[in-house]
Structure 1
Protein backbone atom coordinates (compact mmCIF):
# COMPACT_ATOMS: atom_id res chain seq x y z
CA UNK A 1 0.00 0.00 0.00
CA UNK A 2 1.28 3.50 -0.82
CA UNK A 3 1.94 6.18 1.72
CA UNK A 4 -0.71 8.66 2.87
CA UNK A 5 0.82 11.30 0.60
CA UNK A 6 0.09 9.08 -2.43
CA UNK A 7 -3.64 9.25 -1.71
CA UNK A 8 -5.83 12.08 -2.95
CA UNK A 9 -7.05 15.01 -0.87
CA UNK A 10 -10.85 15.06 -0.51
CA UNK A 11 -13.11 17.87 0.61
CA UNK A 12 -15.53 17.47 3.48
CA UNK A 13 -18.39 18.27 1.10
CA UNK A 14 -17.34 15.51 -1.32
CA UNK A 15 -16.93 12.91 1.43
CA UNK A 16 -20.27 13.86 3.01
CA UNK A 17 -22.16 13.11 -0.22
CA UNK A 18 -21.41 9.40 0.22
CA UNK A 19 -24.05 8.68 2.86
CA UNK A 20 -26.08 5.77 1.55
CA UNK A 21 -25.99 2.01 2.04
CA UNK A 22 -24.62 1.44 -1.47
CA UNK A 23 -22.16 4.36 -1.20
CA UNK A 24 -20.82 5.03 2.29
CA UNK A 25 -17.69 6.97 3.22
CA UNK A 26 -16.49 7.73 6.74
CA UNK A 27 -14.10 10.42 7.95
CA UNK A 28 -11.87 9.43 10.87
CA UNK A 29 -8.67 11.04 12.12
CA UNK A 30 -8.31 13.11 8.96
CA UNK A 31 -8.66 10.12 6.65
CA UNK A 32 -11.52 9.02 4.41
CA UNK A 33 -12.66 5.40 4.20
CA UNK A 34 -15.04 3.88 1.67
CA UNK A 35 -16.79 1.30 3.87
CA UNK A 36 -19.45 0.43 1.27
CA UNK A 37 -18.16 -3.17 0.83
CA UNK A 38 -18.39 -3.68 4.62
CA UNK A 39 -21.98 -2.47 5.09
CA UNK A 40 -23.58 -5.94 5.11
CA UNK A 41 -20.87 -7.41 7.35
CA UNK A 42 -20.63 -4.70 10.04
CA UNK A 43 -21.54 -6.38 13.36
CA UNK A 44 -23.41 -3.27 14.52
CA UNK A 45 -25.47 -3.09 11.32
CA UNK A 46 -25.33 -0.66 8.44
CA UNK A 47 -27.41 1.91 10.35
CA UNK A 48 -24.46 2.55 12.67
CA UNK A 49 -22.17 3.30 9.74
CA UNK A 50 -24.76 5.50 8.04
CA UNK A 51 -25.23 7.55 11.19
CA UNK A 52 -21.49 8.30 11.19
CA UNK A 53 -21.47 9.88 7.71
CA UNK A 54 -21.21 13.62 7.13
CA UNK A 55 -19.06 14.24 10.21
CA UNK A 56 -15.80 13.28 11.83
CA UNK A 57 -16.64 9.76 13.03
CA UNK A 58 -13.45 9.34 15.08
CA UNK A 59 -15.26 9.60 18.44
CA UNK A 60 -18.01 7.23 17.29
CA UNK A 61 -15.37 4.66 16.34
CA UNK A 62 -13.33 5.11 19.53
CA UNK A 63 -16.35 5.08 21.88
CA UNK A 64 -17.28 1.56 20.76
CA UNK A 65 -13.84 0.18 21.63
CA UNK A 66 -13.07 -1.56 18.35
CA UNK A 67 -10.57 -4.42 18.34
CA UNK A 68 -7.10 -4.27 16.82
CA UNK A 69 -8.35 -6.39 13.92
CA UNK A 70 -11.14 -3.86 13.25
CA UNK A 71 -8.52 -1.10 13.19
CA UNK A 72 -6.39 -3.12 10.77
CA UNK A 73 -9.40 -3.64 8.50
CA UNK A 74 -9.61 0.13 7.97
CA UNK A 75 -6.46 0.02 5.84
CA UNK A 76 -8.23 -1.73 2.99
CA UNK A 77 -11.02 0.88 2.95
CA UNK A 78 -8.71 3.92 3.06
CA UNK A 79 -9.15 6.13 -0.03
CA UNK A 80 -7.65 9.49 0.87
CA UNK A 81 -7.18 12.33 3.32
CA UNK A 82 -9.70 14.97 4.28
CA UNK A 83 -8.79 18.58 3.54
CA UNK A 84 -9.15 19.94 7.09
CA UNK A 85 -9.71 23.47 5.73
CA UNK A 86 -13.04 22.26 4.28
CA UNK A 87 -14.36 20.78 7.53
CA UNK A 88 -17.02 23.05 9.06
CA UNK A 89 -16.24 24.34 12.55
CA UNK A 90 -19.78 23.56 13.69
CA UNK A 91 -21.67 20.70 12.14
CA UNK A 92 -25.20 21.33 10.89
CA UNK A 93 -27.76 18.84 12.15
CA UNK A 94 -28.35 16.05 9.65
CA UNK A 95 -31.42 13.94 10.29
CA UNK A 96 -30.61 10.23 10.36
CA UNK A 97 -31.75 8.38 7.28
CA UNK A 98 -34.45 5.83 7.86
CA UNK A 99 -33.12 2.47 6.80
CA UNK A 100 -35.50 0.22 4.92
CA UNK A 101 -36.75 -2.73 6.94
CA UNK A 102 -34.69 -5.80 6.19
CA UNK A 103 -36.17 -8.99 7.68
CA UNK A 104 -32.84 -10.75 7.24
CA UNK A 105 -31.33 -8.37 9.80
CA UNK A 106 -34.04 -8.79 12.45
CA UNK A 107 -32.29 -9.87 15.63
CA UNK A 108 -33.06 -13.48 16.56
CA UNK A 109 -34.26 -12.52 20.04
CA UNK A 110 -36.99 -10.31 18.53
CA UNK A 111 -38.20 -13.22 16.44
CA UNK A 112 -38.17 -15.53 19.49
CA UNK A 113 -40.11 -12.99 21.58
CA UNK A 114 -42.70 -12.61 18.84
CA UNK A 115 -42.99 -16.40 18.47
CA UNK A 116 -43.76 -16.53 22.19
CA UNK A 117 -46.02 -13.48 22.48
CA UNK A 118 -48.25 -13.83 19.43
CA UNK A 119 -49.82 -17.16 20.53
CA UNK A 120 -50.34 -15.74 24.03
CA UNK A 121 -52.08 -12.70 22.63
CA UNK A 122 -54.31 -14.87 20.46
CA UNK A 123 -55.20 -17.07 23.46
CA UNK A 124 -55.92 -14.00 25.57
CA UNK A 125 -58.13 -12.54 22.89
CA UNK A 126 -59.99 -15.84 22.46
CA UNK A 127 -60.51 -16.05 26.24
CA UNK A 128 -61.80 -12.46 26.38
CA UNK A 129 -64.20 -13.01 23.49
CA UNK A 130 -65.50 -16.22 25.05
CA UNK A 131 -65.83 -14.65 28.50
CA UNK A 132 -67.68 -11.56 27.35
CA UNK A 133 -69.94 -13.27 24.83
CA UNK A 134 -71.23 -16.01 27.20
CA UNK A 135 -74.88 -15.84 27.88
CA UNK A 136 -75.57 -14.89 31.47
Structure 2
Protein backbone atom coordinates (compact mmCIF):
# COMPACT_ATOMS: atom_id res chain seq x y z
CA UNK A 1 0.00 0.00 0.00
CA UNK A 2 1.46 3.38 -1.03
CA UNK A 3 1.96 5.90 1.72
CA UNK A 4 0.52 9.39 1.56
CA UNK A 5 2.92 11.93 0.11
CA UNK A 6 4.78 14.09 2.60
CA UNK A 7 3.38 17.61 2.90
CA UNK A 8 6.05 20.32 3.09
CA UNK A 9 5.66 23.90 4.27
CA UNK A 10 6.91 26.77 2.17
CA UNK A 11 9.44 27.65 4.87
CA UNK A 12 10.81 24.12 4.77
CA UNK A 13 11.21 24.22 0.98
CA UNK A 14 12.66 27.73 0.88
CA UNK A 15 15.84 26.77 2.77
CA UNK A 16 16.86 24.48 -0.12
CA UNK A 17 18.16 27.06 -2.59
CA UNK A 18 21.72 26.00 -3.46
CA UNK A 19 23.24 23.94 -6.26
CA UNK A 20 24.00 21.08 -3.87
CA UNK A 21 20.57 21.34 -2.17
CA UNK A 22 17.79 22.60 -4.44
CA UNK A 23 14.05 22.07 -4.03
CA UNK A 24 11.36 23.50 -6.29
CA UNK A 25 7.60 23.99 -6.03
CA UNK A 26 5.81 23.30 -9.32
CA UNK A 27 2.04 22.89 -9.59
CA UNK A 28 1.60 22.20 -5.88
CA UNK A 29 4.26 19.50 -5.81
CA UNK A 30 7.75 19.62 -4.28
CA UNK A 31 10.76 18.35 -6.22
CA UNK A 32 14.34 17.81 -5.06
CA UNK A 33 16.17 18.98 -8.19
CA UNK A 34 19.62 18.57 -6.62
CA UNK A 35 20.58 15.43 -8.60
CA UNK A 36 19.49 17.10 -11.86
CA UNK A 37 21.33 20.41 -11.43
CA UNK A 38 24.37 19.47 -13.56
CA UNK A 39 22.19 17.92 -16.28
CA UNK A 40 19.62 20.71 -16.64
CA UNK A 41 19.86 22.01 -20.24
CA UNK A 42 19.43 25.61 -19.11
CA UNK A 43 22.13 25.31 -16.45
CA UNK A 44 21.84 25.40 -12.69
CA UNK A 45 21.48 29.19 -12.48
CA UNK A 46 18.08 29.14 -14.17
CA UNK A 47 16.86 26.49 -11.73
CA UNK A 48 18.28 28.37 -8.74
CA UNK A 49 16.48 31.54 -9.84
CA UNK A 50 13.15 29.74 -9.31
CA UNK A 51 13.84 28.71 -5.70
CA UNK A 52 12.20 30.43 -2.76
CA UNK A 53 8.91 30.89 -4.63
CA UNK A 54 6.31 28.92 -6.52
CA UNK A 55 8.18 28.06 -9.73
CA UNK A 56 5.08 26.93 -11.66
CA UNK A 57 4.91 29.99 -13.93
CA UNK A 58 8.65 29.85 -14.64
CA UNK A 59 8.39 26.17 -15.52
CA UNK A 60 5.32 26.61 -17.74
CA UNK A 61 6.64 29.72 -19.51
CA UNK A 62 9.62 27.76 -20.84
CA UNK A 63 7.38 25.19 -22.52
CA UNK A 64 8.99 22.00 -21.24
CA UNK A 65 8.49 18.91 -23.42
CA UNK A 66 6.65 15.76 -22.36
CA UNK A 67 9.89 13.91 -21.59
CA UNK A 68 10.93 16.71 -19.21
CA UNK A 69 7.58 16.44 -17.44
CA UNK A 70 8.00 12.67 -17.15
CA UNK A 71 11.51 13.12 -15.77
CA UNK A 72 10.13 15.30 -12.98
CA UNK A 73 8.59 12.20 -11.39
CA UNK A 74 12.10 11.00 -10.50
CA UNK A 75 12.58 14.06 -8.27
CA UNK A 76 9.13 14.24 -6.63
CA UNK A 77 9.37 14.32 -2.81
CA UNK A 78 5.91 15.48 -1.75
CA UNK A 79 3.22 18.13 -1.84
CA UNK A 80 3.31 21.77 -0.75
CA UNK A 81 1.00 23.04 1.97
CA UNK A 82 -0.64 25.79 -0.10
CA UNK A 83 -1.66 27.71 3.03
CA UNK A 84 2.02 28.37 3.75
CA UNK A 85 2.91 29.79 0.31
CA UNK A 86 3.03 33.60 0.47
CA UNK A 87 0.80 35.50 -1.93
CA UNK A 88 2.59 37.19 -4.80
CA UNK A 89 3.04 40.88 -4.23
CA UNK A 90 2.49 43.39 -6.98
CA UNK A 91 5.57 45.35 -7.96
CA UNK A 92 5.57 48.92 -6.75
CA UNK A 93 8.43 51.11 -7.96
CA UNK A 94 10.44 53.02 -5.37
CA UNK A 95 9.43 56.62 -4.74
CA UNK A 96 11.79 58.97 -6.55
CA UNK A 97 12.07 62.73 -6.80
CA UNK A 98 10.76 64.37 -9.98
CA UNK A 99 12.99 63.78 -12.99
CA UNK A 100 15.24 66.70 -13.82
CA UNK A 101 16.85 65.75 -17.17
CA UNK A 102 19.33 68.60 -17.37
CA UNK A 103 20.28 68.40 -13.68
CA UNK A 104 19.37 72.05 -13.15
CA UNK A 105 19.69 72.97 -9.47
CA UNK A 106 16.33 73.30 -7.75
CA UNK A 107 16.82 76.98 -6.85
CA UNK A 108 17.32 77.84 -10.55
CA UNK A 109 14.10 76.03 -11.42
CA UNK A 110 12.20 77.97 -8.73
CA UNK A 111 13.64 81.31 -9.90
CA UNK A 112 12.65 80.54 -13.49
CA UNK A 113 9.15 79.60 -12.34
CA UNK A 114 8.86 83.07 -10.80
CA UNK A 115 10.61 85.07 -13.54
CA UNK A 116 8.95 83.64 -16.65
CA UNK A 117 5.46 84.96 -15.79
CA UNK A 118 6.97 88.37 -14.96
CA UNK A 119 8.85 88.45 -18.26
CA UNK A 120 5.67 87.58 -20.16
CA UNK A 121 3.76 90.33 -18.34
CA UNK A 122 6.51 92.85 -19.11
CA UNK A 123 6.50 91.85 -22.76
CA UNK A 124 2.71 92.23 -22.93
CA UNK A 125 2.93 95.74 -21.40
CA UNK A 126 5.70 96.77 -23.83
CA UNK A 127 3.75 95.51 -26.85
CA UNK A 128 0.58 97.28 -25.75
CA UNK A 129 2.53 100.53 -25.12
CA UNK A 130 4.13 100.58 -28.56
CA UNK A 131 1.04 99.53 -30.44
CA UNK A 132 -1.26 102.12 -28.86
CA UNK A 133 -3.22 104.18 -31.33
CA UNK A 134 -3.18 107.86 -30.76
TM-score normalized by the length of structure 1: 0.63
CA distance in 2, matches of 1:59, 1:90: 12
Write out the 4+ residue segments of structure 1 that deviate beyond 3 Å after TM superposition.
none
Aligned partner of residue 13 in structure 2, secondary structure: helix
Residues 15-54 of structure 1: per-residue CA shift (max 9 Å, x gap): 0100000000000111000000000000000000000001
Show the counterpart of 1:78. 76
Show the counterpart of 2:10. 12
Unaligned stretches of 5+ residues in structure 2: 92-134
Show the counterpart of 2:95. none
Aligned partner of residue 6 in structure 1, secondary structure: coil
Unaligned stretches of 5+ residues in structure 1: 94-136
Note the C-alpha offset of 1:61.
0.7
Show the counterpart of 2:41. 43
Larger Rg: 2
CA distance in 2, matches of 1:89, 1:40: 31
State the aligned residue count: 90
CA distance in 2, matches of 1:49, 1:22: 12
The Cα RMSD (Å) is 1.8
TM-score normalized by the length of structure 2: 0.63
Q: 2:29 aligns with which of 31, 40, 50?
A: 31
Note the C-alpha offset of 1:74.
0.5
CA distance in 2, matches of 1:18, 1:50: 10
Aligned partner of residue 12 in structure 2, secondary structure: helix
